[in-house]
Amino acid sequence: MRLIVVSGVFVFLLMGAMHVLSSQQGEDAVALPLEVGIRVPVEILRDGEMPAIQEVIVSP
């Protein structure tokens, strides 16, 4: 269970870094990936299900 959360956090941080590097829009570009990367793993811990990670990765 812990491995899923850690890998999820890593993916979100990576996506966030790529988003910031590609867009350079200031605070908005940084805030959204950080918010998603923090909230989603917490919800996964609460629910104990993996589909939440997959839904976020698939959606643009």
Digitized pLDDT (tens) for each residue of the chain, 60 residues in all: 555 666 666 777 677 666 655 555 555 545 555 555 555 555 555 555 554 444 444 444
In this prediction the pTM is 0.28
At 11 the pLDDT is: 72
The CB-side HSE value for 11 (13 A sphere, CA atoms) comes to 14
Residue 54: the pLDDT is 46
